[in-house]
Amino acid sequence: MMLGGISLAMTQPRGAGAAAPAPSYDAMTTAYLAAMAVQPTATQAGWYDELIAGLRSDGDLTGLTHLYLFVGENTADAGLINVIAPGTNNITKLGTGTFVDNAGWTGNAVDGLLDTGYAISAFQNDIMLAVYSTLDGVFGSAIGNSNSFITPRNGSDAMSVRLNDGTSRTSANGTQTNGKGLHVARRNASGVADAYKAWSRGTQMIAGSGSSQTPSAQTVCIGGRYTTGATAFDGRTQGAAFIGRGVGVDTTEVARITARFDTYMAHFGISPT
């Protein structure tokens, strides 16, 4: 361009028109996103990565074999995917239940289950189950099968669990007056099982002892459980669930995991209390 006999070179501002660099996510986050039919917003993807990368940095991701997130965007799609290994034990939705974006999955307490297709009987003395309930109330089991399950709050205001066990073990009546938050149960040896409640931040609710060895070949379901000759259903809202190995899990690790899930849920205005 000529202006008063002086040639002016028209240059583009540095960086103008250039594509913004792609976010750098944990490899597991990248694989999870790639498995989704509908891609989330950048904000939601960042929250996924915050949880996944945080669990990894804490050293708590390696013990998980299955993870499902029901709170977020497009959860009717994303919530069915096993975050740990997309395509392996993705959830099959049975009966009637409702996914609500940014809120969770609610069973109808009649026929709604989320079936992981995964049986834990091969790991009878090395197993962990967990479920994050976003709705309080007295309902049935929130995750499990006939001999491995977590009931966050039963009719006696107690937390009840089984882990490859023919007999339920419960906290003291009246100790569980809020069924919300992350509930973790783990078994790490023959005859030893523990249970932890979210809002007490890793405090042991059921001390480890007294578990028999009665594994069930039934698959683990969320929002209820398969039982012998029948099926039990839960009507509370679930925000997340995971399955993993139980050996090495202690109060300190449960507290770390709880903090990570509480942070994730807080992005959606969900409190564990």
CATH of the domain at 234: 2.60.120.200
> Is 68 a member of any domain?
yes
The predicted model gives 233-238 an average pLDDT of 81
What pLDDT, on a 0 to 100 scale, did the predictor assign at position 25? 97
Residue 4 to residue 12: CA distance in whole angstroms: 22
> Is 172 a member of any domain?
yes
Which tokens hold the place of 180?
A: 């919300």
Q: Rounded to a whole number, what is the distance in angstroms from the first to the last CA of the chain?
A: 67
Domain that holds residue 210: 25-266
| DSSP per-residue letters across 159-193 | -EEEES-SS-EEPPTTS-----EEEEEEEEETTEE
Instruction: Indicate whether 247 pLDDT > 90.
Output: no
Q: With bands split at pLDDT 50, 70 and 90, how would you rate the model's confidence at 211?
A: low
Kindly report, residue by residue over 48-71, the tens digit of the pLDDT: 999 999 999 999 999 999 999 999
Q: With bands split at pLDDT 50, 70 and 90, how would you rate the model's confidence at 17?
A: low
Which tokens hold the place of 200?
A: 């007490």
What pLDDT, on a 0 to 100 scale, did the predictor assign at position 197? 85
> Is 123 a member of any domain?
yes
Please give the mean pLDDT across all residues of the chain. 85
2 phi, psi to nearest 5 deg? -105, 130
What pLDDT, on a 0 to 100 scale, did the predictor assign at position 136? 85
Structural domain total, the chain: 1
Question: Residue 183 contacts by C-beta under 8 Å, 6 or more apart in sequence?
Answer: 130, 131, 132, 133, 142, 150, 152, 159, 195, 196, 197, 198
Residue 267 to residue 134: CA distance in whole angstroms: 13
Percentage of the chain with pLDDT > 70? 87
Residue 66 to residue 240: CA distance in whole angstroms: 11
Q: With bands split at pLDDT 50, 70 and 90, how would you rate the model's confidence at 189?
A: confident
Residue 61 to residue 52: CA distance in whole angstroms: 8
> Is 221 a member of any domain?
yes
What pLDDT, on a 0 to 100 scale, did the predictor assign at position 162? 86
The predicted model gives 10-26 an average pLDDT of 64
Q: With bands split at pLDDT 50, 70 and 90, how would you rate the model's confidence at 77?
A: very high
> Is 53 a member of any domain?
yes
Cβ atoms of 94 and 111 within 8 Å: the answer is yes
What pLDDT, on a 0 to 100 scale, did the predictor assign at position 209? 62
Instruction: Indicate whether 34 pLDDT > 90.
Output: yes
Cβ atoms of 98 and 106 within 8 Å: the answer is yes
> Is 12 a member of any domain?
no
Maximum pairwise Cα distance, the chain = 95
> Is 13 a member of any domain?
no
What pLDDT, on a 0 to 100 scale, did the predictor assign at position 266? 96
Residue 173 to residue 82: CA distance in whole angstroms: 35
> Is 11 a member of any domain?
no
Q: With bands split at pLDDT 50, 70 and 90, how would you rate the model's confidence at 37?
A: very high
What pLDDT, on a 0 to 100 scale, did the predictor assign at position 227? 66
pTM passes above 0.85: yes
